[in-house]
Amino acid sequence: MPKSNTKICCIFNLAPHYRGAIYKLMDQELHCDFYFGDQVDTPIKTMDVTELSGYKKTVKNIVFANKKYRWQKGVVSLVFKPYKYYILTGDHSILSSWIIAFFAKLLNKKVLIWLHGLKSGSKMHWKGKLRVYPFYRMTDIFLFYGDYSRNLMIEKGFNPQKMESIYNSLDYEQQILIRKKLHKTNIYSSHFNNNLPVLFFIGRIQKAKKLDQVLISMIILKQRSVHCNFVIVGENADGTDFSKQISDAGLQSNVWIYGPCYQEEKIGELIYNADVCVSPGNVGLTALHSFVYGTPLISHNNFETQGPEFEVVEPGVNGDFFEEDNVWDLTDKITKWISLAESKRDDVRLSTYKIIDEKYNPQYQIDLLKRVLKIK
């Protein structure tokens, strides 16, 4: 059985800020060497990689063939270094990872890929298989962000013994310390000068998030004599003029564009005091942030296009799914959750806490890595 000082090489496409906690834990307990790509297509806040004692290098991500493929400069030679395991970003468009996986097979080394995996249960075209299957066949262990894609891969004939769900995480330890101190405040009543229920969203403001659907739902609710507020925490990522949409909808007094916030204590207060988080587009880390601080979530039901974090939602227990792009169904779901009796709110909080505490945290992830790497 490998010892805890077994050399592990991590080659990732980026070092996003939100993954700092798990990378630091891997650094401390697995003694990994880290190589990170310098940038990806979307703007993502990165961590201070010098905090990792095993940080080795930031390499250039070279994009070519009309952005269909990528090459990480200088990483292929790492397969000839004295590493036993390679943990790679599971993006099949990174062709340098194919070369590493190929030579790792010849050299009797192991490759683990951290991936989203397949999203569709429908039959894959042969061109799609050609793009992903050879890379997957050279992989020893798959580390999925969720069970949905893992199950699809098993249905496609991949060995379930090679499939693990490692999920995702944020800075859980810090969040738990904050969560223990949270309580009801007047942060919303003092801003809005009312005590109406509060809808909440945290994340980048993008067209893909379809936040305009929340505004439409609020208009429908007003017509039904149901009133609420909407708070948006995040920065404008693609130039969407959301302020104009709010003005056109006549909702200026009920929508608060809080802006970007990186103070976790303040984020915790904002989420804890909201009634429901609404993400009409694809949900991702928004779900984890919402749940760790006890707020239920509503998102759409087209799981083939969803982010893997949608799996935290248990409909009717800690959130709901509405029919994608159906604002009437979204409105009904919002009505349900802002009408929740206060006596049931604590049960919802406990349900959201439970799934994060059990699976979506760095300790769960590091324990899984130790198990698959057979490290004590």
Residues 6 or more apart whose Cβ sits within 8 Å of residue 342: none
CA distance 61 to 5: 29
Q: What is the DSSP string of 96-160?
A: HHHHHHHHHHHTT-EEEEEE------SPPPHHHHHHHHHHHHT-SEEEESSHHHHHHHHHTT--G
Query: Quick one: pLDDT at residue 241?
Result: 77
Q: Do domains 8-169+361-372 and 174-358 have the same CATH topology?
A: yes
* Sign of the alpha-carbon torsion through 68, 61, 55, 7: positive
Q: Which amino acid is at 217?
A: S
Q: List, for the chain, all residue ranges whose pLDDT scores fall below the cut of 50.
A: 1-3, 126
Q: What letter would DSSP give residue 161?
A: G
Query: Quick one: pLDDT at residue 124?
Result: 60
Query: What is the CATH code of the structural domain delimited by 174-358?
Result: 3.40.50.2000
Q: What letter would DSSP give residue 82?
A: S
Query: Quick one: pLDDT at residue 66?
Result: 86
Parse the chain into domains and list their residue ranges. Answer: 8-169+361-372, 174-358
User: pLDDT digits over 221-278, tens only?
Assistant: 999 999 999 999 998 878 777 888 899 999 999 999 999 998 999 999 999 999 999 9
Q: Is 55 strand, coil or helix? A: strand
- Identify which of 91, 34, 86, 40 has the alpha carbon closest to the alpha carbon of residue 62: 40
Instruction: Tally the C-alpha atoms within 13 A of residue 73's C-alpha that lie toward its C-beta.
Output: 9
CA distance 179 to 352: 12
Look up the CATH architecture of domain 8-169+361-372. Answer: 3-Layer(aba) Sandwich (3.40)
CA distance 70 to 216: 40
User: pLDDT digits over 96-106, tens only?
Assistant: 999 999 999 99
